[in-house]
Amino acid sequence: MVVVPDQGLVVVFTAGHQQDPFDVKLIMQSFFFEAASPYVLPDHPEGVTRLNDKVLAVGEAPEPEPVPALPEIALTISGKTFEMLEMENQLGWKEVKLTFPGGSEASFFLVAEGLEIEFPVGLDGLFRIPSEESGFPEEFLVAMRGWWETENIFQLEYDVVYGMERNILLFVFEGDLLEVQVITPQGSITLAKGVIRE
């Protein structure tokens, strides 16, 4: 959503193209040209007040939520590396590791296609993004938050910051095994499986 107060303009994008970078500036330049009109809308003070209230609310940072106690499995798998099985791996991941040091943040470590990346994960309902010092490329910047849905299922929600991709992955732990699933309108689909490295 883009709000331009001096133009009285609110633009909401409800779709996107995941293959190319989402160029907001280019779209907005086109939009300003098309939005120009010789006709003036009638005054609507009540609508303007409601819009201003919404704009102020959007600008406020959300409050962190209390972090629930970690289930036993979180302490068992914390900091341990899972090697992904080649035969059942649609993600191209080699290794994953979730670490729960206690507090409001966890970390997700991923080895894939020659890259080793560590992401902070908010456990208090707020997304975390890698720090500038991490050298993470802006076009691939990902915000993450997560929570334990059940005693053995961790949900990891990610949002590509400068893109239009947002999804929830399920990490299902059973003993030494890990199954990574994605939530779809039709239900969850298994994308990869792994086993803990001793």
E-state strands within 113-152: 115-122, 142-148
Round to whole Å and give the CA distance between 171 and 78: 13
Determine, yes or no, domain membership for 67: no
- Give the Å distances, CA to CA, from 142 to 66, 87, 119, 155, 161: 23, 27, 8, 16, 6
Task: Give mean pLDDT, residues 103-108.
Answer: 96
- Give the Å distances, CA to CA, from 48 to 23, 59, 67, 147: 28, 17, 38, 38
Tens of pLDDT, residues 173-189:
999 999 999 987 777 88
Stated pTM of the model: 0.72
**Structural domain containing residue 80:** 72-196
Are 77 and 42 within one domain?
A: no
Are 79 and 177 within one domain?
A: yes
Tens of pLDDT, residues 126-150:
999 988 777 666 767 899 999 999 9
C-beta of residue 82 within 8 angstroms of C-beta of residue 195: yes
Task: Give mean pLDDT, residues 88-92.
Answer: 87
Q: Which of 30, 59, 88 is the last residue of a domain?
A: 59
Q: 59 pLDDT band (50/70/90 cuts)?
A: confident
Residue 16 has pLDDT above 60, yes or no: no
Strand, helix or coil at 28? helix
